[in-house]
Structure 1
Amino acid sequence: MHKGADILSDSACHKSVQTICEDYFHHLNQPFQRLDSWHFCDNEKDANTCLSLVIAGIKKATSPSLWWYQANGFELPKVGDLNVVTDWQGVAHCIIKTVRVAVIPFEEIDADYALLEGEGDKSLEYWQRVHWDYYHRELKETEFQPEKSMPIICEEFEVVFRLGGK
């Protein structure tokens, strides 16, 4: 799955988000920056499972639809972006850095990319099934309807810091 619909505002963030940002930039000997924080998926079970896969080094990509970004007026991810990934409750666990972004039609996503997502049995068939269902939920409150040619943001990332500096 991919980023949850809620990118948390400063006032809604768990104190761990502030802490991980402070620790990360202190570790780099750079001035503090507040990073956006978010969780994967639209439900607690999947959000926390995806987070565990990221921490384990298995999940290295996420795939929101371009239409969801457009419908919500969010800026598209770009190489070099840093984000705090939280669990469903908003507790920070790691900072990721975007290393590649491509916009690819749903029907052109391949098995190599599905493997980078790291979910389920890691097959293309699994990726297509769970993401197709997700895009229906993601776009439900928008003017868009999922279709096989819809543009998907394929965002690859790496973990650059863990809570506690690990």
Structure 2
Amino acid sequence: MSTDDQVEADADEIASFWELARVRAGLGRLAVVTGAGAAASVPPPAWAFGDTPEAADTLVGLVLTGAKTATVSPVAEYEASGAAFPSVGDLAIVLDGRAHPRALIRTTGVRVARFMEVDAAHAWAEGEGDRSLESWRAVHEEYYRRSARSGGVEFGPDMELVLETFEVRFPPRSSRPARG
């Protein structure tokens, strides 16, 4: 989310969500001990998809229905922030537009590709619009051009992107909205 539209996440709400999600998803157990592992006490990063509260709500909704199992971010954003690329196995808490935790996801794949190299399978997995590659390119080009105007990353067909796939670990499928 952009700074102007971002709502501050409540640390206690994130911690409570993490406690419930990690237990229900079977995470954070040591093989020898029945208690929680050391990493289980620290919640993973919490963030929202999109650059507005409305986009965050729409996109987390797609995650919860199972339509959205992929995302993409410019390599330049990682470089500018000093953040590491996602890695397979990474966990994240996805927030809605009001910064409430809604889903725990686990990264299942990461690759780097240029904008024009993104394929139809990845566009489909992002779950947005009509899920076609043409729609994906139009929406993402507009988004990156808008981001460039507000000081973000400059768009070009050769811009490098980090393509990430993920699975929802919590909430369980039975408690999520029906796919439709």
TM-score, L = length of structure 2: 0.79
Which residue pairs with 2:178 in the alignment? none
Which residue pairs with 1:9 in the alignment? none
What pairs up with 1:6-45 in 2 under 5 angstroms? 12-14=8-10, 15-27=12-24, 28=26, 29=29, 30=36, 31-45=40-54
Match of 1:75 among 57, 63, 84: 84
Q: Distance in 1 between matches of 2:9 and 2:57?
A: 17
What amino acid sits opposite 1:21 in the alignment?
Answer: W
What's the CA shift string for 1:127-159, capped at 9, x where partnerless? Answer: 0011111112334425x5211011011000000
Match of 2:151 among 141, 150, 164: 141
Which residue pairs with 2:129 in the alignment? 120
SS in 1 for 2:169: strand
5+ long unaligned stretches in structure 2:
30-35, 176-180
What amino acid sits opposite 1:160 in the alignment?
Answer: R
Residues 26, 32 of structure 1: 8 Å contact kept: no
5+ long unaligned stretches in structure 1:
7-11
Q: Based on CA coordinates, which of the two structures has the bigger radius of gyration? A: 2
Shift of 1:39: 0.4
Q: Which moved more, 1:16-25 or 1:106-115?
A: 16-25
Match of 1:151 among 139, 160, 164: 160
What amino acid sits opposite 1:79 in the alignment?
Answer: V
Residues 85, 92 of structure 1: 8 Å contact kept: yes
Tell me how many residue pairs correspond in the alignment: 156
What amino acid sits opposite 1:36 in the alignment?
Answer: P
Shift of 1:5: 5.2
Residues 35, 83 of structure 1: 8 Å contact kept: yes
Q: Distance in 1 between matches of 2:147 and 2:107?
A: 22
Residues 108, 166 of structure 2: 8 Å contact kept: yes
Match of 1:47 among 53, 56, 64: 56
What's the CA shift string for 1:5-48, capped at 9, x where partnerless? Answer: 57xxxxx4323311111112334353422211000000122211
Q: Which moved more, 1:85-94 or 1:65-74?
A: 65-74
Which residue pairs with 2:106 in the alignment? 97
Residues 20, 162 of structure 1: 8 Å contact kept: no
Q: Distance in 1 between matches of 2:51 and 2:95?
A: 13
SS in 1 for 2:41: coil
Q: Which has the higher strand share?
A: 1
